[in-house]
Structure 1
């Protein structure tokens, strides 16, 4: 399944121009069905679609463990059977009907659209219980470790990445997608299916740390989320309320710690 394609572009540098081939990220719709009923359609980069579906079901509170999943398979599109743009998740409870406020078209950058209320999302999240303590040096190293593992970004320059690291800084799982929320769902879906314990991990994201990314991490029980960009006020509020450490502008040897700095080892960090 291709995640990029070659297109012809006119490259302009100063006063010179020439036609060259360039790699661009593929963006296509994916419909996610549960027990045959349509739940959501999102624009995503093809690849790791089953992880994306599982991660979405988990972070939406539809499932709470991998044991609730029976089978996952692509459904052929009657008009374009060669495409793999429909995924059906059959739950162990095959009679279950899913009621969701997320029956909508969402683009790859928008995560919160279609939610019933912020309060209902807040109710899904439980306080984080983790004893992880990490050093500043480890945190400073994460952006470069994430970047080095981004194969698609190196080709296209137009895709988000999310990585899960352990407390020693080892990369456990990485996923890329044109949508940052999709990349989070892919990582968390892979973690759930693989039985990866996430309560002692750090999630590093290449995009801004908004409310829904914080919410997804909290549903999974991830104690630390770091971003090379900014955090939003709602993400910080949620993280403060529910015990998650959030870090923004993690670049070079500096960072902003927005919530719960006690998880960062002593050495100049004060609450």
Structure 2
């Protein structure tokens, strides 16, 4: 584990009527500034690991990187916390609309107008139907995602995301203090590795909001699994975009909110 992601802090702990002094592992918050074509574009407050993937996923989610091949250069200066990205054919309206934004670990300022202008251009309804899961598959994937996050086990202070093959194979796992950041780290890895999303499911520890759903849509995700709830707008968007949402996956139960045909009780044949 990257030592800069976790720090030891003195704490006073109360347990079973006793007050004790000790130390605890605490997750760090790190400001990462993305320089786009030589200009400051955004600062993300994040967990300082997989920052290149985070930067790529963020730019793709925001519509500034519509084709990975247009990313001509990417470098990270860990001394200053700056990522330098050179991207061809950037939409100048999107660039100016998002200039010098600051996103906290709680998602920061509202991006509603900016996001939905971009999403109208980049989020397309799915035409594929390559994923078939059972209810038990969903429960097992959620458990595997949580088990794979060493950072969560140590600090309890991060959101988790993971990508699975439909047979349950865990392909990658990412954690971050920001729930959007965890997904962008997954997205960036998908783009850099040129992974195809056919036959894959995305698991997530946070609430499925409209922004989370749209990030999944841009990845080409057919099935989004969550430990938490889904919002009404996310459900509407998932219906329109052809995405299956399964939420409240905990204690051996779950809710399927949209396109339930991808999740059944028994064996599936796709």
TM-score, normalised on structure 2? Answer: 0.90
Name 1:127's counterpart in structure 2.
Answer: 125
Name 1:109's counterpart in structure 2.
Answer: 106
Q: Cα distance, 1:95 vs. partner? A: 11
Q: Does residue 76 of structure 2 align to residue 87 of structure 1?
A: no
Counterpart pick for 1:52 among 35, 54, 57: 54
Aligned counterparts of 1:97 and 1:116: Cα–Cα separation in 2: 12
Name 1:67's counterpart in structure 2.
Answer: 69
Quick check: 95-104 or 255-264, which moved more? Answer: 95-104
Cα deviations by residue, 1:158-197 (Å, 9 ceiling, x for unpaired):
1111000011111111111000000000011011101111
Please list, as runs of the form range in 1=range in 2, the aligned pairs for 1:228-239 lying within 5 A after superposition: 228-239=227-238
Structure 1 unaligned spans of 5+: 76-81
TM-score, normalised on structure 1? Answer: 0.90
Give the direction of change, closer, same or farther, for the CA distance of 1:231–1:105 in structure 2 (3 Å limit): same
Aligned counterparts of 2:61 and 2:245: Cα–Cα separation in 1: 18
Q: Cα distance, 1:92 vs. partner? A: 4.8
**Is the CA contact (8 Å cut-off) linking 2:142 and 2:227 kept in structure 1?**
yes
Aligned counterparts of 1:102 and 1:163: Cα–Cα separation in 2: 28
**Is the CA contact (8 Å cut-off) linking 2:63 and 2:118 kept in structure 1?**
no
Please list, as runs of the form range in 1=range in 2, the aligned pairs for 1:206-225 lying within 5 A after superposition: 206-225=205-224
Q: Secondary structure at the match of 1:2?
A: helix
Cα deviations by residue, 1:27-51 (Å, 9 ceiling, x for unpaired):
0111111111122111101011100
Aligned counterparts of 1:121 and 1:211: Cα–Cα separation in 2: 13
Quick check: 206-215 or 91-100, which moved more? Answer: 91-100
Name 1:183's counterpart in structure 2.
Answer: 182
Aligned counterparts of 2:108 and 2:191: Cα–Cα separation in 1: 20
**Is the CA contact (8 Å cut-off) linking 1:210 and 1:235 kept in structure 2?**
yes
**Is the CA contact (8 Å cut-off) linking 1:24 and 1:156 kept in structure 2?**
yes
Cα deviations by residue, 1:209-228 (Å, 9 ceiling, x for unpaired):
11111010101111110101
Q: Higher helix fraction: Structure 1 or Structure 2?
A: 2
**Is the CA contact (8 Å cut-off) linking 1:101 and 1:116 kept in structure 2?**
no
Q: CA RMSD in A?
A: 2.3
Q: Does residue 8 of structure 2 align to residue 6 of structure 1?
A: yes
Give the direction of change, closer, same or farther, for the CA distance of 1:89–1:96 in structure 2 (3 Å limit): farther
Aligned counterparts of 2:243 and 2:123: Cα–Cα separation in 1: 11
